[in-house]
Amino acid sequence: MIKAEDIYLKCPISFQKILFNISAHKKNKQKLQKDFHLKLRELEKSQFYSFPDLQALQLEKLKFMINHAYNDVPYYRSVFDEKKLKPSDIKTLEDINKIPILTRNQVKNNLPSLVAKNIPKNQRLLRNTSGTTGSPMYFFVDKKSYSVNCAYTWRYWNWAGINFGDSRITLQGRRIVHHSRIKPPFWIYNKWDKQLFFSTYHLSEELMSYFVNKIFEFGPQAIEAYPSAIYVLAKYMDDNNIRHKIKAVFTSSETLYPIQREVIERVFQCKIYDKYGLSEMFFVATECEQHKGLHFNMEYAITQLLNQQNELVAPGTEGRIICTGLENFSMPLIRYDTGDIGEALPDKCSCGRNFPLLAPVTTKVEDQLLTPEGRYISGSLLTFPFKPMKNIIKSQIIQESLENIKIKIVKNNFYNQEDSKILLEGLRKCLGRSMNISLEFVEDIERTKNGKYRWVISHVHRKMDFSKDNV
């Protein structure tokens, strides 16, 4: 079946600009509803609450969410009844520990029963995770989540001194021009947000100068990007002694390595503001202007760090990141195991906010692949071909040489040849036609000692390989 995105990518650039801005205008209207302005005012005030007041706010929102989940979400009604729990049993924040942890597999296996019965279909949206474990998870969010997330975004951006009307460049996963394009433009302008989208799929040595020239021409106040994508661009500029001062760089979706931060901040002569979140739990923690760690957004989620015995760990000790969302009512995620490992910091930030601090989360290492044409492809971009793959349990991408990629797949009983065809076509759109891609079906994929496994592994030495720079 031909997708709207495929039609868009085959259109002339002039027509793509029109289609892109029609879509951008629609999303901009959804984000900037009255809910956005109300939420932003709330968040601007609550960020300076005392810690007890923040905990009181969390408890109020938690009780409301628990009542909603018990009364309107079949999965939680069943869990509560099985444990002989009632919403009234959740009297304190510590009482949340009475509720069992929710795993990713449980979400995937119980999707229909996790959806709130009282939320009309036209008021919720189906979304999916990026699939960095190789198998995306589907979930529902409130339709107003656009405006809610936008409010958290703007509070976070305000910490960096970014204001309404400031221009920015975005270097993330959206395919905005066809991957086979060899001449500029490799970008599309969103006039509604003063936002220039760069094609992350065209970051090659040969094309990098076009991007640099466009940065100087456009003059952004900020850049939001995958760390690996902005690092490739910054490394090129650094190697050529090019500098361009902006207000801030915002990174998310991947691990931000120290060497990346160092080069990016040097080139753009500003600080990086990192964010930790997931598709299904978007604003867990964000970095403020003091850069001492990432602040837990306590209004957005209750975040626990637990050991393997499901006990809270002390600050300075690594633990599994368990989150309870306080904003999404279409599909509540209560004590959701994110699959990440993090460490709370013992120090209080000097910025005046009383949110506790999280050390940078470094447990999802996503390598870049290098194509024969010299394009750098980040792990986040490689998740897109896997999004429609409902019959893949696990997968792993291994680049064995410049021209050869092997995909290890743990499939379920419904996997068929059509799945292979769709996956290979998606990967070729991402990596190009010159890459040899083979599929290997395996019983399981070996995990690392911390219980996880690397989704992307590259055995190809690359000029810009930051893992060779003593990260």
For the stretch 106-146, pLDDT in tens is 999 999 999 999 999 999 999 888 655 556 789 999 988 88
Mean pLDDT of 444-451: 54
Q: What percent of the chain has pLDDT over 70?
A: 92
pLDDT computed for residue 445 by the predictor: 78
Taking residue 34's Cβ as centre, other Cβ atoms within 10 Å add up to 8
Separation between Cα atoms, residue 409 and residue 396, nearest integer Å: 7
pLDDT at residue number 387:
78
Task: Decide: 267 and 247 in contact? Cβ < 8 Å.
Answer: no
Please answer whether residues 326 and 300 qualify as being in contact, where contact means their C-beta atoms are separated by less than 8 angstroms. Answer: yes
- Per-residue model confidence (pLDDT) at position 441: 96
Residues 6 or more apart whose CB falls under 8 angstroms from that of 57 comprise 46, 49, 298, 299
Question: Residue 210, class by beta-carbon neighbours within 10 Å (0-12 exposed, 13-18 middle, 19+ buried)?
Answer: middle
Torsion, Cα 294 170 142 94, to 10 degrees, reads: -10
**Which residues sit opposite 408 in a β-bridge?**
396, 440
pLDDT for 448 equals 46
Over the stretch 221-232, which tens digit does the pLDDT of each residue have? 999 998 878 988
Q: Rounded to an integer, what distance in angstroms lies between the CA atom of residue 155 and that of residue 141?
A: 21
Contacts of 114 (CB under 8 A, 6+ apart): 73, 74, 75, 76, 107, 139, 331, 332
pLDDT at residue 471 above 60? no
Least confident of 120-134, 175-189, 257-271, 441-455: 441-455
Does 466 or 246 have the greater pLDDT score? 246
Query: Does the pLDDT at position 1 exceed 70?
Result: no
What pLDDT band is residue 343 in, cutting at 50, 70 and 90?
very high
Written as one string, the DSSP assignment of 60-95 is HHHHHHHHHHHHH-HHHHHHHHHTT--GGG--SGGG
Quick one: CA torsion of 256, 261, 264, 269, rounded to 10 degrees? 140
Kind and range of the H or E run holding 433: none
Output the pLDDT for position 455: 75
| pLDDT beyond 70 at 470 | no
Q: Is the pLDDT of residue 418 over 90?
A: yes
What pLDDT was estimated at residue 213?
Answer: 97
How confident is the prediction for the chain on average, in pLDDT? 88
* pLDDT computed for residue 466 by the predictor: 38
pLDDT surpasses 60 at 458: yes
pLDDT at 469: 38
More reliable by pLDDT, 442 or 383: 442
Q: Which of 375, 22, 13, 383 is nearest to 177 (CA)?
A: 13
Position 384 pLDDT exceeds 90:
no
CB 279 within 8 A of CB 127: yes
Question: Which of 50-64, 363-377, 415-429 is modeled with the greatest confidence?
Answer: 50-64
Q: Is a pLDDT exceeding 60 seen at residue 267? A: yes
Mean pLDDT of 55-59: 98
pLDDT at 216 over 60: yes
pLDDT digits (tens, 9 = 90+) for 144-202: 888 899 999 999 999 999 999 999 999 988 888 887 888 999 999 998 889 999 998 88
Mean pLDDT over residues 391-412, rounded? 89
pLDDT of res. 214: 97
Residue 407 in tokens? 């995909």
Report the distance separating Cα 376 and Cα 245, nearest Å: 24
In which band, very low, low, confident or very high, does the pLDDT at 465 lie, cut at 50, 70 and 90? very low
* 286-314: b (≥16 Cβ within 10 Å) or e: bbbeeebbbbbbbbbbbbbbbeeeeeebe
Residue 295 pLDDT > 60: yes
Residue 427 is predicted with a pLDDT of 93
Burial of 451 (0-12, 13-18, 19+ CB in 10 A): exposed
Residue 328 has pLDDT above 90, yes or no: yes
pLDDT of amino acid 228: 79
What pLDDT is attached to residue 454?
A: 67
pLDDT at 130: 66
pLDDT of residue 4: 73
Q: How far apart are the first and last CA of the chain?
A: 43
Of 173, 132, 139, 106, whose CA–CA distance to 394 is shortest? 132
State the pLDDT at residue 2. 54
